Structure 1
Amino acid sequence: MDGRAVAPAAGTVLNALATGVGSAFAIDLETTATVELTNDGEIVGEVAGQPDADTSLVERCVAVTIDEYAETAGLEGADVGARIRTDSEVPMASGLKSSSAAANATVLATLDALEVRDAVDRIDACRLGVRAARDAGVTVTGAFDDASASMLGGVTVTDNTADALLARDEPDWHALVYTPPEQSFSADADVAACERLAPMATLIEELALDGRYGEAMTVNGFAFCGALGFPTGPLLEALPDVEGVSLSGTGPSYVAVGDQETLEGVRDRWEEREGTTRLLQTRTDGTQTT
């Protein structure tokens, strides 16, 4: 019994570190997970091309999914194990939600292997991955905003303190992503500094819930660059042309949204910086089995 799923990465509209409310949108960078169920009770993960990578998140994703749905799959009491392999286009520790994409792909692949995927609501599958991320210690907020955008596609606004979906939309965007060469792990973010932005985050939340995602992104970008110590130069280089631009997650990536032609002009400026720049489509289909 085996399953396979593909999950997109995501960019930030509102960072949830300040108030627990966050917003994100899916972009066309993918993580693929393959899960093969075994009868030896062992759950072992690997990351393609990275033999020393930490696989605790995907292993926990499989464990919680089996615990939750073994009875539904007719495997209650069985010594179910798994072999997991992930392969990703999403750079790790870049602010592009690589952990959420890996979790979503792994959970959906496990449900596919258990042959219960059609019996599980996608938002419930998303919550399994969020639970596993908290268990594995790879997230500060629970990342339900990032995970829901990756699982459902489009833009989502969520209350991460309750794992509640507040809104979802499908704006017609392209996305430009600039990733500097350094890494930034979300678990190392200065949470106290971000919490001081709570009044500003409440304003950004209001903008997002009003469908003013681009404005929300831009305010978020300047606020969280200040709190987390990232330069605002890439934001200024994208303005006033783009619909919105922000630091993504806890950095170091920046993401801008708008029409393709406008973003191509911004790309020329961002490509003068050290790092990688990608012009991508946004995604509305979310995580899919393949």
Structure 2
Amino acid sequence: MQGRAAAPGAGTVVNALATGRGSAFALDLETTATVDLDPDAAGVSGEIAGEPDGDTELIERCVERVVDRYGADEGGTVRTESAVPTAAGLKSSSAAANATVLATLSALGLEVANDPDADVTRTEACRVGVRAARDAGVTVTGAFDDASASMLGGVTVTDNAEDELLSREAPFAEHALVWTPPERAYSADADASACERVAPMAELATDLALSGEYGRAMTVNGLAFSAALGFPTDPAVEAMAECDGVSLSGTGPSVVAVGEREALEAVRERWAARDGETRLTNTRERGARVL
């Protein structure tokens, strides 16, 4: 009873911390999960490749939730490997949760598809991971926006209070540039009250996203939440004239810009002068997948 699956990270269009509604888009950076189930095993143990002391509660809880709902009390192991940096605002938790949920469902022999007649729909599989993230305390909003973009691909807009998908479209740009400074920021530690003070800007950004103006929504969101969370706005200002949209991703510290590749390469030269890592990647229409 083994399953393997992969899920992409994501970038932020609108942070849901202020209003409960958010938007995100899939990035071509993946986390892979391998799940081995055993009817005779007691409990679930997890491992994160390259992080012997990493917190495995989320991925273990994902396996447990899937088994509780769709299995028959199986235990086992789960191991993840990831190209998505943790605590960087690039939705590493959502990618790990989605990959683990799909791998567990695959180990159980269940079909996951967009078809409502499938054993499990992709949206419902996504919700299982979101609930596990809440159990593990790794999210403030429930992160259904991030998780849905990772699971379904493209760009999504969601109501996180209701775990409701408001829209899903193909990516609004093909290329993305990510700058990740050395420091890390955990979503669960974000100052929610500070974010609530920029709710008018978040509402404007959400309206723009629902109208399909994702680039403008990103930029409005990025300036507002950078100020609210104490991150510099300089990287966004440096990119604005060159890209379709630029934003602080999640609760930081990464900044993501989208647009034409040549323009992003020019921005990369500026961002590369800063401490940290820059990576030029792609957005993704394809979401999580069974391997």
1:34 counterpart residue number: 34
Once the 2 structures are TM-superposed, how far is the Cα of residue 221 of structure 1 from its aligned partner?
A: 0.5
1:148 counterpart residue number: 148
* Contact map agreement 2:174 2:284 (CA 8 A) in 1: no
For residues 32 and 151 of structure 1, the distance between their equivalents in structure 2, rounded to whole angstroms, comes to: 13
Structure 2 unaligned segments of length 5 or more: list them: 113-118
Once the 2 structures are TM-superposed, how far is the Cα of residue 224 of structure 1 from its aligned partner?
A: 0.2
Give the TM-score of the pair, scaled to structure 2.
0.96
1:52 counterpart residue number: 53
SS of the residue 1:96 aligns to: coil
Identity of aligned residues (%): 66
Once the 2 structures are TM-superposed, how far is the Cα of residue 213 of structure 1 from its aligned partner?
A: 0.3
2:102 to 101, 104, 108: 108
For residues 41 and 52 of structure 1, the distance between their equivalents in structure 2, rounded to whole angstroms, comes to: 22
2:240 counterpart residue number: 239
For residues 242 and 211 of structure 1, the distance between their equivalents in structure 2, rounded to whole angstroms, comes to: 16
Number of residue equivalences: 283
2:182 counterpart residue number: 181
Question: Amino acid of the residue matched to residue 183 of structure 2?
Answer: E
2:83 counterpart residue number: 89
Once the 2 structures are TM-superposed, how far is the Cα of residue 49 of structure 1 from its aligned partner?
A: 1.1
Q: Which runs of 4+ in 1 moved over 4 A?
A: none
Once the 2 structures are TM-superposed, how far is the Cα of residue 59 of structure 1 from its aligned partner?
A: 0.3
Once the 2 structures are TM-superposed, how far is the Cα of residue 41 of structure 1 from its aligned partner?
A: 2.3
For residues 172 and 258 of structure 1, the distance between their equivalents in structure 2, rounded to whole angstroms, comes to: 6
2:22 counterpart residue number: 22
1:125 counterpart residue number: 125
Once the 2 structures are TM-superposed, how far is the Cα of residue 150 of structure 1 from its aligned partner?
A: 0.1
Once the 2 structures are TM-superposed, how far is the Cα of residue 207 of structure 1 from its aligned partner?
A: 0.2
CA deviations on 1:138-162 (whole Å, 9 max, x unpaired) are: 0000000000000000000000000
Question: Amino acid of the residue matched to residue 33 of structure 1?
Answer: A
* Contact map agreement 2:33 2:81 (CA 8 A) in 1: yes
Give the TM-score of the pair, scaled to structure 1.
0.96
* Contact map agreement 2:21 2:161 (CA 8 A) in 1: yes
CA deviations on 1:20-77 (whole Å, 9 max, x unpaired) are: 000000001100000000121220000011110000000000000001101xxxx3xx
Once the 2 structures are TM-superposed, how far is the Cα of residue 169 of structure 1 from its aligned partner?
A: 1.0
CA deviations on 1:71-111 (whole Å, 9 max, x unpaired) are: xxxx3xxx410110000001110000000000000000000
1:202 counterpart residue number: 203
For residues 4 and 251 of structure 1, the distance between their equivalents in structure 2, rounded to whole angstroms, comes to: 29
* Contact map agreement 1:108 1:117 (CA 8 A) in 2: no
Once the 2 structures are TM-superposed, how far is the Cα of residue 197 of structure 1 from its aligned partner?
A: 1.2
Structure 1 unaligned segments of length 5 or more: list them: none
- Give the superposed CA RMSD: 0.7
